[in-house]
Structure 1
Amino acid sequence: MMNTHKTKIALLLAASAVTMALTGCGGSDGNSGEPGEPGGEPAGAIKTLNFTFEKAIITDGLPHVDFRVTNEDDMPVVGLQYFKFYAEQLVPQGATGAGNASQWQYLVDETCDLTPKVNKCAGSLVDNKNGSYSYSFSTNLNSSTRAAYNSELAQRIVLNNYIRGTTPAPLPDGTTLPVFTGIFDYVADTGAEATYSRKIVTTASCNTCHEDVINAKHYTSDVNFCASCHTEGKVKPGNEFNVLVHAKHKDLKLGSLDSCQSCHTASDAAPDWDNWSRIPTAATCGSCHSNIDFAAGKGHSQQLDNSNCIACHNSNWTAELHTGKTADKKAVIAQLGISAALAAQADDTAILTVSILDKDGNAIDAATVQDKIKRLETATNVGPNFPIMGYNPSPGSGKAKIAKDLVKDGALQAGVTIVDGKLVFTTPALPFGAGDTDTAFTFIGLEMCNTGTTLTACTTDSATTSMKAELAFGTKSGKAPSMRHVNSVEFGTCQGCHGDTFEIHKGHHSGFVMTEQVSHAKDANGKAIVGVDGCVACHTPDGTYASGANKGALEMKLHVVHGKQGVIKECTQCHNDFNLDAFKVKGALATSAGKYTTPITATCTSCHTPESIGHGLENMGAIVNGDYVQANQAAQSETCFYCHKPTPTDHTQVKM
């Protein structure tokens, strides 16, 4: 993706000027006596670049490639000024020794930079002025010092426009370009498509978390380029792609990484997706199992090469072992569910009733599974859109959220009874009020003891699995409850990285697996929206723990935590939308120990420093790190949205 710096009128004028120039030269490639192909209408604003390879062939060790480039509207792109071309080859499985995987070999690369400051091209580039280009290498592949060129192997041409340390070179008229990568695998002497490949992971799979592979600092839009560049002989030992990518990911606390198939999925774009289980090697396996030294025989029987690996580690067994954790977890989660009701009483208390459900959604007697419950945890608050009970006593209501275990280690907790097979608990008095505070809500987590996929009575060393979370609402007035919006962030976007069995906060909590059970809204297609709105029962405007120094309010916490990971680069990775109207019912958010900030400013400064915003925040009605009363009274005085109209795709957008 890119942001053009030109207005539509300017782009149209530039396009018209280039079109007239092309008409005058008849679409010539600039070489006398060579009329070239008819000129086409040039591209305007460039958001994406698409490559069609028409021919690639190697003659006497010199590669030549013909290709066409179009934009997102299938219009030809004329005047590309910078390319880096790479020639690589693929050694097939088993060719370097029994049990060895296929292996990319990096041969040569050449740069063609025709920007005015450089104007130098290693080979010969021809721009036919209609979106088609040709490039002939000047470096003979037989001269490669990295690997011996073999014309019988599958060959790869890669072209890329990333200039290290800067943005891609624009078109001559200044139109900016996105980072692009074009890849073509072929047979050297005929130009036919290669008959075998090494395409194991798709770019789309990586982008589930990274939004764009470019954001992972790979400087390319195609993970296949990463795989064929990070190869033995090109990078230092340990940075080969199959080693590096596993090492970078294996220690991340992401539920999706419990299964190799989170990344290695069957796809037309990854015909070799099952290599991870089909071709075990010491290098690949050792990149995750880093405590093993195969050559020295430490942690595993000694293996001096890969010839014996498949004898023990057959594909089915390997696949089952490396996907079993997730499969078992799903099997346990599917066995039970919960439902709950919250009913306010005249004395401002509320009765919470929790039912345990079987796999078909039918209520069962809680006593029959009580001994298998590690923890059934609840958190109750008032005011779903702006909770008024703090993690600790709130400056506003003077009360803290009500945290209550109904069952722990198989035992009913004080104040909890079983009535008609349901767990019943009466809360202390709640600070009900008008509007949003007429509604109380309870977020519920359930953790079960299990052996494998069987639910079992809890012991001190039992394995446990977090089950589906639940969210219940109740009002003092008896009217329909107020509910927090779920159109800004849907949990489905969280699952992209964390997986669909992600046990949020398991350890210091029971763990909350977010499913349709917590849904109270549907999308345009009638599908249940799984929101993160239950999280505010604990992640209140006052923050968590002793103060708000860690930015505990949900509006801020997620930005801070994910920002530290360095993975989140675009708002669209998490946000479906920005519900700007939600700020109309919010008050002050804790931003440092004992200090509060008006809500729009607090949310924005959880990513941006106040100085980077560019104008005095107080001049826009904001209170930054003031006292609670001052900031809360000013919460609806911020004028940010008079000018700003942020969207997930452009959070810098302003009203014009």
Structure 2
Amino acid sequence: MMNTQKSKFALLLAASAVTMALTGCGGSDGNDGKPGEPGGEPAPAIQKLNFTFNKSVVTNGVPSVEFTVTNEDDLPVVGLQKMRFAAAQLIPQGATGAGNASQWQYFGDETCDVASTCPGTFVDMKNGRYSYTFKMNLTANTKITYNDQLAQRVLIRAYNTPLPDGTLVPNSNAFVDFTADTGAEPGYSRKIVATESCNTCHQDLAKVKHGGAYSDVNYCATCHTSGKVGVGKEFNVLVHAKHKDLTLGSLESCQSCHVETEAAPDWTNWSRIPTAATCGSCHTAVDFAAGKGHSQQLDNSNCIACHNSNWTAELHTGKTAEKKAVMAQLGMSATLAGQEDNTAVLTVSILDKDGNAIDAASVQNKIKRLETITNVGPNFPIMGYNPSPVTQYKKVTKDLVKDGALQADVTIVDGKLVFTTPALPFGAGDTDTAFTFIGLEMCNTGSTLTACSADSTTTSMKAELAFGTKSGKAPSMRHVNSVNFSTCQGCHSDTFEIHKGHHAGFVMSEQVSHAKDASGKPIVGVDACVACHTPDGTYASGANKGGFEMKLHVVHGEQGVIKECTQCHNDFNLDAFKVKGALATSAGKYTTPITATCTSCHAPESIGHGLENMGAIVDGDYTQANQAAQSETCFYCHTPTVADHTQVKM
């Protein structure tokens, strides 16, 4: 029950004692009720369950907990119908052998369904307080020896079974660590990673596995333990194995996940307590027991002798630190000017760490690659990745410097790199603007820039974006207010070298910014990416996941990243569709832009009405879809927002 009055618990206790009729109340309509009765219709759903543990002890081997549950408005929740309770104990570091990490031991769990069976004793006190006493006796466990001197843990899973009055509740998790006899907080713990670190990328950890059941990483770490799961499924092994091969810049540093926070007091364990199991979960080519790839180590007793904490931390964060040090040394600025003959002159300046222009020739031998991509029409690029079906123009790609050598048709004038593009398809409006995306890759040894050689280590620098018009008027620029780039960096890091390998690599930063927010801070956008990711798609195979408006949805959807629009979007700039045309959806086929964007996440049949009836062209030819681009009537009814992209006009 969630009581209808926002009063103190004493009043709630009194109200709940008046009548059992309150038992099913799930929420409030904000209206006062008659004494002892709910205040109108209950809320349709509770958004969040908060747990406070009042008492936790183990008596003669039997755990019991008392706890309070409130909703997002801090009102008591009464009438929870189904809960799971699990018990575990924590073996301290070194207790099972020198060098061994602390380890959870999982005794077991009991599921209590009020409507059917409950192994232990479950009490709903009708005021938001509950208690549960286990049926299991920890001393009777034949696999685990219960020790009342060890830290104990009880985990709770509240199922999303509706309250008696029909109010919906979310799947929720909670846990409490305590000493067996008094219930006091134990003197040691194993809280190595905070759930917030996981949710930086996953947004909601509960949606990753197990049907949305577990939202707290501590639940995962307690359950995925030796004896409870198979070899290789232990949490410290499994989580590294799942993440180590992902091409995410943030994973180049262990501290992307192991962050100092109040929720993870043991966050330094990753460097402080090296073990064969944990280290081997990333360094999979090493067999410690066999002495393959490392001197033979039959146990963990000698690991710390060589792998001290500071050295381990330096090794596993050094790549990111080194990359940042290299990137800080040079920058770029550029201008682009359209000419009467439809060419454009691109001028690129190399800047020192203080932003002052230097002679490009002075660092030329240290440049692995300085790459440029030029297109026309920032809001709807008309030059394709390959020749556009209509204009037959292909984006202009040009290396200004490669392997330390100045490339053909490139000169250095007054210390600046200068290149004149071939004729571009300049026109009116948006197509009066050309834009160039620039990537710079430098050779380095450690954090020092060095002359390039065949085996040089390289680092991509901060990218640059230049705009220019043929008319001399102010350039047209693509919107940047839709995507919150900090969320990209949350997963990919602020040193993410986009497309390094087949490109010079583009590190998105304030250098690509051409707009500022209300406080004057540069807005980093992803608008430069359309230089390659054009409405015609990419690669020779055709659309290849479609135009940029679609590609990120498709790619992140396939990876299971997308859960909510708010993960990445600040806003939906619906006006942007007014300057867009047809987008490639499959090889040789095109769809009108609103429908193409929406169906990059939603299957067309799931939308619920005939798209063609709304003016859309779905998988038509380019000319047909492009001519119909501004005929879609989707926004006559649909008014999507970031918070609710299903919103419609009423």
The TM-score with structure 1 as length reference comes to 0.92
Change beyond 3 A, Cα 1:590–1:12: farther
**Matched residue, 1:430:** 424
**Matched residue, 1:136:** 133
Deviations along 1:23-63, one digit per CA (max 9) or x if unpaired, are 64279999xxxxxxx99979833111111111111111111
Tell me how far apart the structure 1 counterparts of residues 88 and 167 of structure 2 sit (CA, whole Å): 31
Tell me how far apart the structure 1 counterparts of residues 277 and 516 of structure 2 sit (CA, whole Å): 47
Tell me how far apart the structure 2 counterparts of residues 129 and 90 of structure 1 sit (CA, whole Å): 33
**Matched residue, 2:483:** 489
- Secondary structure at the residue paired with 2:183? coil
Per-residue deviation, 1:178: 1.6
**Matched residue, 2:282:** 288
**Matched residue, 1:70:** 70
Per-residue deviation, 1:378: 0.6
Which of 7, 18, 25 lines up with 2:19 in the alignment?
25
Note if 1:650 corresponds to 2:644.
Answer: yes
Change beyond 3 A, Cα 1:345–1:144: same
Per-residue deviation, 1:604: 1.4
Change beyond 3 A, Cα 1:141–1:190: same
- Secondary structure at the residue paired with 2:107? strand
Specify the code of the residue in structure 2 equivalent to 1:634: A
Tell me how far apart the structure 1 counterparts of residues 126 and 320 of structure 2 sit (CA, whole Å): 53
**Matched residue, 1:355:** 349
Alignment RMSD (CA, Å) = 2.3
Tell me how far apart the structure 2 counterparts of residues 28 and 534 of structure 1 sit (CA, whole Å): 59
Which of 546, 551, 574 lines up with 1:580 in the alignment?
574
Specify the code of the residue in structure 1 equivalent to 2:168: T
- What stretches of structure 1 of length at least 5 have no aligned partner? 1-10, 31-37, 163-167
Per-residue deviation, 1:19: 11
Alignment map for 1:254-265 (pairs within 5 Å): 254-265=248-259
Alignment map for 1:4-403 (pairs within 5 Å): 22=16, 24-25=18-19, 44=43, 45-115=45-115, 119-162=116-159, 168-218=160-210, 219-403=213-397
Specify the code of the residue in structure 2 equivalent to 1:212: D
Tell me how far apart the structure 1 counterparts of residues 20 and 545 of structure 2 sit (CA, whole Å): 63
Contact 1:49 1:71 in 2 (8 A): yes
- Secondary structure at the residue paired with 2:66? strand
Deviations along 1:409-451, one digit per CA (max 9) or x if unpaired, are 1111111110000001111222222221121111000001111
Specify the code of the residue in structure 1 equivalent to 2:258: H
- What stretches of structure 2 of length at least 5 have no aligned partner? 6-11, 25-34
- Secondary structure at the residue paired with 1:529? coil
**Matched residue, 1:410:** 404
- Secondary structure at the residue paired with 1:555? helix
**Matched residue, 2:630:** 636
Deviations along 1:552-583, one digit per CA (max 9) or x if unpaired, are 41111111211221232222222222211111
Tell me how far apart the structure 2 counterparts of residues 470 and 341 of structure 1 sit (CA, whole Å): 10
Per-residue deviation, 1:201: 0.3
Change beyond 3 A, Cα 1:27–1:69: farther
Deviations along 1:373-429, one digit per CA (max 9) or x if unpaired, are 111011111111111111122123221111111111111111111000000111122
Change beyond 3 A, Cα 1:287–1:547: closer
Runs of at least 4 residues off by over 4 Å: 18-21, 26-30, 38-43
Change beyond 3 A, Cα 1:509–1:40: farther
Deviations along 1:327-367, one digit per CA (max 9) or x if unpaired, are 11111111100000111122221111100000111100000
The TM-score with structure 2 as length reference comes to 0.93
- Secondary structure at the residue paired with 1:528? coil
- Secondary structure at the residue paired with 2:155? strand
Tell me how far apart the structure 2 counterparts of residues 545 and 462 of structure 1 sit (CA, whole Å): 29
Note if 1:541 corresponds to 2:535.
Answer: yes
Contact 2:385 2:394 in 1 (8 A): yes
Per-residue deviation, 1:589: 0.5
Specify the code of the residue in structure 1 equivalent to 2:123: V
**Matched residue, 2:29:** none
Contact 2:18 2:36 in 1 (8 A): no
Tell me how far apart the structure 2 counterparts of residues 654 and 63 of structure 1 sit (CA, whole Å): 51
Change beyond 3 A, Cα 1:523–1:171: farther
Instruction: State the percentage of identical aligned residues.
Output: 77
Deviations along 1:185-216, one digit per CA (max 9) or x if unpaired, are 01110011121100000000000110111121
Deviations along 1:438-497, one digit per CA (max 9) or x if unpaired, are 211110000011111111111111111100000011122222211111111132211111
